Structure 1
Amino acid sequence: MRQFSRQSRSGRIMLAVGLCALLLGTSGCTRIRTHQGYQVDKLLVDSVQPGIDNRASVEGTLGRPSFAAQFGDQDWYYVSRDMRSLAFSNPKPVAQTVLHVRFDPAGNVVAVDRMGLEDVAKVKPWGEKTPTLGRHRSLFQEIFGNIGAVGAGGMGGGGGATSPGGGPNGS
């Protein structure tokens, strides 16, 4: 009877250890959600009207933009992105909103455009090599190709005994 209780006790302990390991193992792979950029408030964004608002009223309503146009101050951009990832994986975008507010030269709102994640261009690298211009040389040509070229005439190396003055005797 005593032996039976030891087996059941050790079984319970093993079950408890197994459950703890399972809980700790799954908590390390939790989903991480992050938000980057402007916090979009649909009511405030919809209140910006072309022909009615100007730069000052847009700044008062939406705040300073994420960034402005590089040339001139005609365009303001408000960028918002939601990301999701598992513990150690690369984050992937779930949602993105780019609010583009365009102004005329007088500073009045001309248009308010919205772009989402579907408008983002996906760039895929081509192959495993980057094509380059120039000579195509093998590994051995790269390693041994300069033998004998060091100090050759016209290469800027020490081809002769010249002094700093330029001529053989400093003249």
Structure 2
Amino acid sequence: MSVFSARTGLAAVALLAAVATGGCAQLRSHQGYVVDVDLVNSVQPGVDNRQSVLATLGKPTITGQFDQGDWYYVARDSRNYAFRNPRPNAQITLQISFDAKGTVTAIRRSGMEQVASISPYGKKTPTLGRERGFFADLFGNIGTVGAAGAGGGNNGSNTGGGRNRP
């Protein structure tokens, strides 16, 4: 075996090792709001309103769904290796509550305790209902629309408050 082929083989192994270890490098990512502690601390309950919070912190990540009294600013740092799923490393959730007039009433901060880890259970999600197969789901509603006791029609009863019509 010549010295040249031994060096070429050694270089190929070193190159392959460098590529393999490069694929295991940790990837970091940031999602959501970029938190500036000084700006967040400048928002005061009872002093600021929606317009001043919008001017100071910017548009919220999420607004309350049922009432528009809460704004949420969410920031998450994640890490992962190669092709694995990202895992949250740190998270900050800033919740700002407003009253009916738009004045800040409360500011709450939370962290990683709000992150839920959900693991799917096999190929099927367990439910508290009855077990139904494919054909029961496909043909299960045949005959129930408009049937007595199924809520499909008014069955001759007067639910509209007016006269019964034939």
Structure 2 matches for 1:4-43, cutoff 5 A?
A: 7-43=2-38
Deviation, structure 1 residue 87: 1.3
Match of 2:2, SS state, is: helix
- In structure 2, do the counterparts of structure 1 residues 47 and 135 end up closer, same or farther at CA, with 3 Å as the change threshold? closer
Deviations 1:66-104, CA, capped at 9 Å, x for gaps: 111112321000011111111111111101111000111
- In structure 2, do the counterparts of structure 1 residues 50 and 89 end up closer, same or farther at CA, with 3 Å as the change threshold? same
Larger Rg over CA atoms: 1
Aligned match for 1:116, one of 106, 111, 120: 111
- Aligned: 1:58 with 2:47: no
- Aligned: 1:134 with 2:130: yes
Residue 15 of structure 1 aligns with an amino acid whose one-letter code is: L
CA distance in 1, matches of 2:131, 2:97: 48
- Aligned: 1:85 with 2:102: no
Match of 2:90, SS state, is: strand
TM-score (norm 1): 0.69
Computed over aligned residues only, the root mean square deviation of the Cα atoms, in angstroms, reads 2.4
CA distance in 2, matches of 1:7, 1:127: 56
Aligned match for 2:40, one of 22, 25, 45: 45
Match of 1:43, SS state, is: helix
Residue 39 of structure 1 aligns with an amino acid whose one-letter code is: V
Deviation, structure 1 residue 135: 5.3
Structure 1 portions without partners, runs of 5+: 1-5, 143-153, 155-171
The size of the alignment, in residue pairs, is 135
TM-score (norm 2): 0.71
- 1:151 paired residue number: none
Aligned match for 1:98, one of 93, 96, 102: 93
- In structure 2, do the counterparts of structure 1 residues 126 and 24 end up closer, same or farther at CA, with 3 Å as the change threshold? closer
Name which of structure 1's ranges 75-84 and 127-136 shifts more when overlaid on structure 2: 127-136
Deviation, structure 1 residue 129: 4.8
Deviations 1:27-79, CA, capped at 9 Å, x for gaps: 12221111111111111111111111111110000001011111232100001
